[in-house]
Amino acid sequence: MISNLAVLPIVIPLIAGVIAILINRKLTIVRRFAQILTAVNTIVVGYILFYVSQNGAVILEAGDWMAPFGIVLVADLLSVVLVFTTNIIALACVFYAPKSLSDQQEEFYFYTFYFLLISGVSGAFITGDLFNLFVFFEVLLMASYGLIVLGGDKVQLRESIKYVLINLFSSMLFVTTVAFLYSVVGTVNMAQIAQRVGEVEQTGVLTAIGILLFFVFGTKAALFPLYYWLPKPYIAPNPVVSALFGALLTKVGIYSLLRVFSIIFVHKSDVTHELFIWIAALTLIFGAIGAMSTQNIKLIVAYNIIPAVGFMLLGIGVYNSTGYAGTVYYLLSDMIIKAALFLLVGAIAYLAGTSDLRKIRGLIHHYPFLGWIFFIAALVLSGIPPFSGFIGKLLLLQGAIEADKIIVALIGLACSLLILLSVMRIFVRGFWGEKDESIIPDKKAARGFALPVVFLLFFSILLGVGAEWFYPSIASIGDYLMNPETYIQSVLKE
Amino acid sequence: MEIVMSILAGILFTTGIYNLLQKQMLRIIIGTALISHGAHLFILTMGELKRGKPPVLSDDIVNYSDPLPQALILTSIVISFGVTSLLLVLAYRASKENGTDNMEKLRGNEND
């Protein structure tokens, strides 16, 4: 009975999305409905998080079929904490949405797509089956196709074609890889794959499959040679959609890498994980340079996703429990702060009437509060000590040094500096300077935009200041990822 | 039999990728369709093409072909069908709004 908890974070948004189809024309009702349902879902997930942290992983065998034969949903601490973070971001976005979307866009099934996206992301975090992971990827991608093109102006249509094509191609590659893996190990259940790969000690063909899987998830997560598709499609849609994308989609790719390369392909870590470290270094460098290269404030934040996934990949690559703990800490912190930053630059672009940094100046005279929360968000992003970005990066660099990867750790530090510079540029150029008299301040809109961001920043600061409370559980996730036997045994019950 | 099918899937992938690298939008979509055909054929092949009976339960048959890849393909076919139909409508709208179906001309400027 209690194991049914694992399915709730997937089913609640799914049902809510279906109901939202029926009431899409009544805007006030559908808005209220979406806000309440997201809050309910957050509370439910909060309870699951509490339950899992007290009693250990909740494992649901769908339809009472035993583990390798049916689909299993594995709600362990890692997945539940990510689902909880997803819901916090969703909660901020659903309150931001009415202010930033036009009525027509909201009527045109925004809330349905939004709920399906949340359902798909939660499903991808919770599933314990590789093909089921593919299906949840498609659920969230289909919803994201709907969201990215919502509104249908020239830029969106142009960029969404590229986005759909690259994702369709990587999905097909995913299916092909699952077929390869099925022919070698004869199962699609992650725990049983891990067991069988462990029995044969990962032969050459399995390493090749592992690298292929890395390419699939690397495309989803925008890693070094595969990130070219990301920045422009991410700034084409409405800011609230960009925030959901930037916070959730690439992180699902990183989570899949984390799972697959901590449970299944661990026996040839000198080949695979060594590759990751260098790809992480290149991702960091290219992403940070990209963020410095542009004057478009939305594009600066979109490019900042890339060095962040580089940091997380570094944690996966160093392959020790400190590195894993750092990845998880940084993942949580980065999901929240990317959503906050996308919402903030969306607000700035709306209030200033342009997203070109050369045309914005002196906003702090009109919107002091917005300016200072942007300043805090920039500090969190670059990892200044009291905030949450710091602890994640500290653990990651500590992990890298433990694994004797000093050069990559130094590259990481240098890139942090560039990241700080790229977002501070928005603050210095856009907020400082002489007062722009032509702007008529819209205080009410600014307050509406600021509230969801403050909500996100609260969690971000809590995660940094309260590191003493969270660190033990996250360190235990790091140890858990280092010992895949725990996962395999709890799923297969041997 | 598996070798023939693997080569066929490889040919489908090759032609699919060739079409994907063209400029015209419709040829790109045909390329994605060919790639998904290749992938589906590949799943079927990788599940081993044993000459058993169709996986429908009845008493007098002992040797069944593997039902799991067939279920996986069916799921994957429906998904790629949905994405392809979305992509076709998207291409129609995009070429109408932008006045071209040439991917080379669909480039974006940074600040628009």
Contact present, B43 and B35 (Cβ < 8 Å): no
Closest to A299 (Cβ–Cβ): which among B32, B82, B110? B110
The string of DSSP letters for A220-258 reads HHT-GGG-TTSHHHHHSS-HHHHHHIIIIIHHHHHHHHH
Query: Nearest Cβ partner of B112 from A142, A155, A188?
Result: A155
Q: What is the mean pLDDT of chain A?
A: 92
pLDDT above 70: residue B21: yes
Measured from the Cβ of residue B70, the count of other Cβ atoms closer than 10 Å reads 15
Instruction: Compute the average pLDDT of residues A291-312.
Output: 93
Whether pLDDT at A486 is above 60: yes
User: CB pairs under 8 A, 24+ apart, for B10-19?
Assistant: B10/B38, B11/B38, B12/B37, B12/B38, B12/B41, B13/B38
Q: What is the pLDDT of residue B30?
A: 96
Q: Which residues of B touch A153 (CB under 8 A)?
A: 97
pLDDT digits (tens, 9 = 90+) for A74-101: 999 999 999 999 999 999 999 999 999 9
Nearest neighbour of A164 by CB, restricted to B48, B86, B108: B86
State whether B111 and A295 contact (CB < 8 Å): yes
Q: Which of A467, A223, A210, A475 is nearest to A324 (CA)?
A: A475
Segment A120-143 shows an average pLDDT of: 95
Report ipTM for this prediction: 0.95
Q: What is the pLDDT of residue A170?
A: 94
Give how far B64 is from chain A: nearest CA, Å.
Answer: 16
Q: What is the pLDDT of residue A494?
A: 67
- On whether the CB atoms of residues A105 and A151 are closer than 8 A, the answer is yes
Burial class of residue A22, CB neighbours in 10 A (0-12, 13-18, 19+): exposed
How far apart are the C-alpha atoms of B94 and B101, rounded to whole Å? 8
pLDDT tier, A271 (very low <50, low <70, confident <90, very high otherwise) = confident
Q: What is the sign, positive or negative, of the torsion defined by CA atoms of A59, A61, A67, A73? A: negative
Q: pTM of this prediction?
A: 0.95
pLDDT value of position A145: 96
- Highest-pLDDT range among A55-59, A140-144, A224-228: A140-144
CB contact under 8 A, B72 and A178: yes
A110/A241 Cα distance (integer angstroms): 10
- State whether B20 and A165 contact (CB < 8 Å): yes
Pick from A391, A369, A364: nearest CA to A380:
A391
Q: Which residue of B has its CA nearest to A149?
A: B90
What's the whole-number mean pLDDT along residues A183-192? 93
Q: Residue A306 pLDDT > 90, yes or no?
A: yes
Alpha-carbon distance values, A243 to A71, A100, A159, A249, B92 (Å): 31, 12, 17, 10, 28
Query: What was the pLDDT predicted at A230?
Result: 92
Q: Which candidate in A157, A166, A173 is best for mutational testing of the B interface (most B CBs within 10 A)?
A: A157
- Interchain contact, B111 vs A355, CB within 8 Å: yes
CA atoms of B96 and A128, how far apart (whole Å):
43
Q: Mean pLDDT score of chain B, rounded to an integer? A: 89
Q: Testing the interface with A: which of B2, B8, B14, B43 to mutate, by most A Cβ within 10 A?
A: B43
Separation of alpha carbons A247 and A381, rounded Å: 13
Q: pLDDT grade, residue A270 (50/70/90)?
A: confident
Mean pLDDT computed over A439-467: 90
Cα A350 from Cα B87, distance rounded (Å):
30
The pLDDT assigned to A426 comes to 92
Q: Which of A152, A148, A92, A153 is nearest to A117 (CA)?
A: A148
* Interface check B46 vs A, CB under 8 A: yes
Any CB–CB contact under 8 A between B82 and chain A?
yes
Which of A317-321, A404-408, A438-442, A454-458 is the least confident region?
A: A438-442
pLDDT attached to residue A440: 80
Task: Return phi, psi of residue A61, to 5°.
Answer: -95, 110
CB neighbour burial string for A401-426, b if at least 16 within 10 angstroms, e if fewer: eebebeebbebbeebbebbbebbbbb
Residues of A with CB under 8 A from a CB of B: 131, 134-135, 138, 142, 145, 149, 152-155, 157-161, 164-165, 168-169, 171-173, 175-176, 178-180, 182-183, 188, 232, 294-296, 299, 355-356
Q: Tell me which chain A residues have a C-beta less than 8 angstroms from the C-beta of B48.
A: 183
Which stretch of DSSP H or E encloses residue A61?
strand A58-61
Q: CA-CA distances (angstroms) from residue A299 to A96, A167, A390, A430?
A: 20, 20, 24, 15
Per-residue pLDDT band for A340 (boundaries 50, 70, 90) equals very high
Nearest chain B CA: its distance from A295 CA (Å)? 8
Query: Can you say how many angstroms the Cα of residue A452 is from the centroid of all Cα atoms in its chain?
Result: 18
Please answer yes or no on whether B87 and A172 come within 8 Å at the CB atom: no
Q: CB of B93 within 8 Å of any CB in chain A?
A: yes
- Between A158, A161, A175, which is nearest B39 by CB? A175
Contact check, Cβ <8 Å, B47/A182: yes
For residue range B32-46, what is the model confidence (pLDDT) as tens digits? Answer: 999 999 999 999 998
DSSP state of A71: -
Q: Is the pLDDT of residue B109 over 90?
A: no
- Retrieve residue A432's tokens: 């400082």
* Confidence grade of residue B20 (pLDDT, cut at 50, 70, 90): very high
* Predicted confidence band of residue B73 (pLDDT cuts 50, 70, 90): very high
Q: Which residues of A116-128 are buried (b: 16+ CB within 10 A; e: fewer)?
A: bbbbbbbbbbbbb
Q: Report whether pLDDT(B111) > 70.
A: no
